[in-house]
């Protein structure tokens, strides 16, 4: 399993638009084959910064999603709202403590 972390920075006036896009697409993303978990975070001190965390079966599964019509559609609507270049990391989940 891998974890995909994406940092997204939006123009203040575009926050609601992004939240609407996320709400419309979150169940499709979460139910995409290979996706096991999806969360959205918003920075506590800078509300223009969001992070998505998603768990994928493998990097190959993530890449299938990244080349899908779903991703292409969501990304096209989202990228025009940015105030800064997005950042992304693909990491291994080594340990969880509850």
pTM of structure? 0.94
Q: Which residues pair with 53 in a beta bridge?
A: 5, 39
Average pLDDT over residues 3-29: 98
Contacts (Cβ under 8 Å, ≥6 apart) of 29: 35, 38, 54, 65, 70, 74
What CATH number should be reported for the domain holding residue 71?
Answer: 3.30.70.100
Which H helix or E strand runs over 90?
strand 87-92
pLDDT tens-digit series, residues 57-75: 999 999 999 999 999 999 9
- Count up the domains in the chain and report the number: 1
CA 36 – CA 3 distance, rounded (Å): 10
Whether 48 is covered by a domain: the verdict is yes
Total Cβ atoms within 10 A of residue 42: 13
Q: Which tokens go with 42?
A: 């918003």
């Amino acid at each position: 399993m891998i974890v995909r972390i994406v940092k997204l920075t939006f123009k203040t006036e575009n926050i609601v638009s992004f939240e609407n896009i996320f709400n419309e697409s979150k169940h499709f993303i979460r139910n995409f084959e290979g996706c096991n978990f999806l969360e959205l975070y918003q920075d506590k001190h800078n509300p223009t910064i969001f992070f998505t965390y998603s768990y994928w079966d493998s990097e190959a599964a993530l890449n299938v999603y990244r080349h899908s019509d779903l991703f292409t559609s969501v990304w096209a609507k989202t990228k025009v709202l940015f105030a800064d270049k997005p950042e992304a990391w693909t990491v291994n989940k080594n340990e969880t403590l509850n």
